[in-house]
Amino acid sequence: MKLTQKNKNMNRGAAVLSVFFALLFLIIFIRFFYIQSTGTVHGEALVAKVEELYKSQRTIEAERGSILDRKGNVIAEDKSSYKLVAILDDKITTDPDKPQHVVDVSDTTQKLAPLINMEISEVEKLLSKDLYQVEFGVAGRDISHSLKEEITKLDLPGIIFSRDTQRFYPNGIFASHLIGYAQKQENDGEAVGMMGLEKTLDKYLHEEDGFVKYQKDGYNWKLPNSKDEITAPENGNDVYLTIDQKIQTFLEDAMNQVVDEYTPEKIIGVVADPKTGKILAMSQRPSFDPNVRDINSYYNDVVSSRYEPGSTMKIFTLASAIEEGVYNGNATFQSGSYSVDGPDIYDHNKVGWGPITFNEGVQRSSNVGFSIIADKLLGTDRFYQYLNSFGFLKPTGIDLPDEVNSKFNFTFHRDKVSTSFGQASAVTPIQQIQAATAIANGGKMMKPFVIEKIVNTDTNETVKETKPTIVGEPISDKTSKEVLDLLETVVTGEKGTGKLFKIDGYQVAGKTGTAQMYSDSGEVLRGHDNYIFSFLGMAPKEDPELIVYVAVQRPKLEGQAGAMPVSKIFNTVMKNSLQYLQIDPTDTVTGNDSNELNQGIKLPSFKDQNIKEVTANIEKLGLKPVILGEGPSINSQYPDANTSMIIDEKVMLKTSDSVKMPDMKGWSRRDVMKLGYLLNLTIKTEGSGFVVKQSIKKGSIVKQGDLLTISLDSQKPTVEKSKKAEDKDQ
């Protein structure tokens, strides 16, 4: 009986277990069936989970597009650098004698912080975090090769470097408000355009990294039969500008000299090709170095600043009257003052010069003469129509950001008349440049532009290209020639206001301008220095190849004429640019002037030639060779072959991979940039003028990527030494 009951219990237990295991296997079967049919586990794709475990991905870095001048010289590019990383996790260390993580936080902090310009407390806080690794933000990026080596020599456990790139501007202060800058973002380290063309063309310059996916084992080793999936990187497009590096350098250097001598509040300079509308150079002061980003103004004054143009506006009043057939240069008027509704209009000397011809009025820049032209001969309504024809009533549409429009006070009669000589109106420099192309280009007005073309770096296909565009013909070819003839007398005439702008060998046509400035309360500022002095000039007069506009605001003149600082920029830039473009002089010049004007030297290629022969040939050309290295022949040079040079310019000649730093005392900033470009150095400048101090000592071995900091001063140091002194230095 008991045995039978026991068997029943056993059978019942077995049945329960059978049912339990049957349900368990049913659940497992259903689960397997579900996974097989849906491919997911706990809402996650099974395939993706497997890929996560057994697949790895490596990034293939792409490069942001470069910005280049019209001849392909680099203005902005990505450059290799290093990023500083600290490993904090002690589990990474397998050998106690060779720690791979930060061991001594205090010691590491004390040694590292000064080298990367971070506060000791900040570094210590970073190194004390409970993380696998940390980075050092902006301070730890863009580490140069020389700084990397300096940190490496400290032998700090856990401090490592990863390859990185930085946005580099090899010319420093060079069309900076035009180019702008790109900056890496804190969150993802991606370079983004923050200002200027770097910002507006970011969609073209921006790059997309590629990647390689491959199969790995549990130890992160790539499997031999791995089927790699490659997504190619997309490099950013290269942007070619109309800017000419040589002409831009002429402008930058001339501005620097005027800043040193006259300390003005502001300078604006533009060089343009009147036949196409191409902007060949554009700059302003104050400016900034995009490598340093010492920015005091984010606006490009050439397109974003409007002000009373002063007497440069008389060019277009004159052209309008000639085109309309109402101008008689030999007719006379009474200079001194002109009565209108409101305060009388006066000439700049208040009393005038008695009865004079209108041609003399042009030379003397008579406000009264131009008031009569606009009011009596042309009529203010017709004059307003010509202002529209010359493009002054709307923005030019140049391919630059933040362009503003002009402002004309055409409500009251006196203001309408005052517009004829550049008061009661405000225009931008780029509007004056565009209008001047009509004067210099046979009546055809060209739209200004700075972007030549955009090229896909991966396919070499042109993505976008700008063609010269005629935006109006406000005057005829005959009128343009007559205006140029009259404007030449402003420079060459005995009574002309533009005598300072005469350039030996070249006929210059142009007009001076002296624009009033106003206080915050709207009152006219008084005093000899409180003006914007300007000159808008074209040369050669018979067939102008260049337009140059220069404006200097509130220079410290100390009794000198307001045109003096303007002429020091205009004359230097115009003359050097014409010579560089190999435009023959139009006037006969004798003596030293003739020799000076024929110094446009085309540089030959010196590659693989003997150093002694090359040195002798360069000196015969009137240039100065700088030998870099100790090899017997030239392996590279800068500037490149076929570059037009000016007398006494330096030519950098590299003869070996091992190069010692030369003594740069007395060098110009431009010469330093040549050296930096040839040796692939990162250049940082302090001050302006000529080199008085260099961070890499003379005779030190130079390595690619080294940071060279130079201090500049307006007083050029004496670099000539006696032979005895040179021997002592060596």
The pLDDT of residue 96: 77
355 vs 330, 340, 375, 486, 500, CA distance in Å? 12, 19, 18, 19, 26
Does 489 lie in the same domain as 416? yes
Place of tokens 């856990």: 158
Name every residue whose Cβ is closer than 8 Å to that of residue 713 and which is 6 or more positions away in sequence: 687, 689, 690, 692
Q: Where does residue 369 fall: left (phi above 0), alpha (psi -120 to 50 degrees), or beta otherwise?
A: alpha
Does 618 lie in the same domain as 552? no
**Residue 726 pLDDT grade (very low, low, confident, very high; cuts 50, 70, 90):** very low
Give the pLDDT mean for 149-158.
Answer: 90
Residue 361 has pLDDT above 50, yes or no: yes
Does 570 lie in the same domain as 548? yes
With H, G, I as helix, E, B as strand and everything else as coil, classify residue 566. helix
Query: What are 632-679's pLDDT values in tens digits?
Result: 999 999 888 877 777 778 899 999 989 999 999 988 877 888 888 888
Is 215 within a domain?
A: no
The pLDDT of residue 489: 97
Residue 724 has pLDDT above 90, yes or no: no
Does 80 lie in the same domain as 23? no
Task: Please work out, in degrees rounded to the nearest 5, the angle formed at the alpha carbon of residue 488 by the alpha carbons of 486 and 494.
Answer: 95
Residue 214 has pLDDT above 80, yes or no: no
Is 472 within a domain?
A: yes
Does 280 lie in the same domain as 172? no
The number of angstroms, rounded, from the C-alpha of 203 to the middle of its chain's C-alpha atoms is 18
The pLDDT of residue 298: 93
132 vs 220, 643, 646, 692, CA distance in Å? 18, 53, 58, 46
CA distance 311 to 408: 15
Query: What are 697-715's pLDDT values in tens digits?
Result: 899 899 888 888 888 775 5
DSSP class per residue in 473-505:
--S-HHHHHHHHHHHHHHHHSTT-TTGGG-BTT
Residue 57 has pLDDT above 70, yes or no: no
Does 165 lie in the same domain as 109? yes
Does 314 lie in the same domain as 181? no
Query: What are 239-251's pLDDT values in tens digits?
Result: 999 999 999 999 9
Query: What are 109-136's pLDDT values in tens digits?
Result: 999 999 998 999 999 999 999 888 898 8
Does 353 lie in the same domain as 387? yes
User: Which of 595, 628, 658 delimits the end of a domain?
Assistant: 595
Is 211 within a domain?
A: no
**Residue 223 pLDDT grade (very low, low, confident, very high; cuts 50, 70, 90):** low
Query: What are 370-391's pLDDT values in tens digits?
Result: 999 999 999 999 999 999 999 9
Is 233 within a domain?
A: no
Residue 138 has pLDDT above 50, yes or no: yes
Cβ of 154: how many Cβ atoms within 10 Å? 12
Is 644 an annotated catalytic residue? no
Does 401 lie in the same domain as 267? yes
What is the domain-level CATH number for residue 136? 3.90.1310.10
Most confident among 137-141, 260-264, 308-312, 723-727 (mean pLDDT): 308-312
What is the domain-level CATH number for residue 664? 3.30.10.20
276 vs 65, 447, 464, 573, 579, CA distance in Å? 26, 8, 17, 19, 20
User: Structural domain of residue 709, as residue ranges?
Assistant: 601-729
Name the residue among 141, 152, 156 with its Cα closest to residue 105. Answer: 156
Query: What are 411-462's pLDDT values in tens digits?
Result: 999 999 999 999 999 999 999 999 999 999 999 999 999 999 999 998 999 9
Is 283 within a domain?
A: yes
Report the number of distinct structural domains present in the chain: 4
Catalytic residue among 66, 81, 287, 311: 311
The number of angstroms, rounded, from the C-alpha of 87 to the middle of its chain's C-alpha atoms is 38
CA distance 659 to 111: 30
Does 73 lie in the same domain as 148? yes
The pLDDT of residue 309: 96
Is 47 within a domain?
A: no
First and final C-alpha spacing in the chain: 121
User: Which of 539, 567, 595 delimits the end of a domain?
Assistant: 595
**Residue 191 pLDDT grade (very low, low, confident, very high; cuts 50, 70, 90):** confident
Q: Cα dihedral sign for 405, 410, 415, 420?
A: positive
Is 46 within a domain?
A: no
Most confident among 145-154, 201-210, 381-390, 595-604 (mean pLDDT): 381-390
Q: Given the DSSP bridges, would you call strands 644-645 and 682-686 parallel, antiparallel or unpaired?
A: unpaired
* DSSP H/E element including 515: strand 509-516
Give the pLDDT mean for 315-327.
Answer: 98
173 vs 216, 417, 555, 678, 688, CA distance in Å? 49, 41, 21, 18, 10
What is the domain-level CATH number for residue 522? 3.40.710.10
CA distance 206 to 199: 10
Q: Is 600 exposed, middle or buried (0-12, 13-18, 19+ CB in 10 A)?
A: middle
Name the residue among 321, 477, 310, 339 with its Cα closest to residue 385. Answer: 321
Mean pLDDT, the chain, whole residue set? 87
Residue type, 230: I
Does 642 lie in the same domain as 572? no
**Which 8-state DSSP code applies to residue 390?**
T
Residue 98 has pLDDT above 70, yes or no: yes
Is 382 within a domain?
A: yes
User: Which of 552, 574, 595 delimits the end of a domain?
Assistant: 595
Does 433 lie in the same domain as 315? yes
Task: Give the count of alpha carbons within 13 A of 565, CB side only.
Answer: 32
Percent share of the chain, pLDDT over 70: 87
Which of the pair, 82 or 359, is modelled with greater confidence?
359
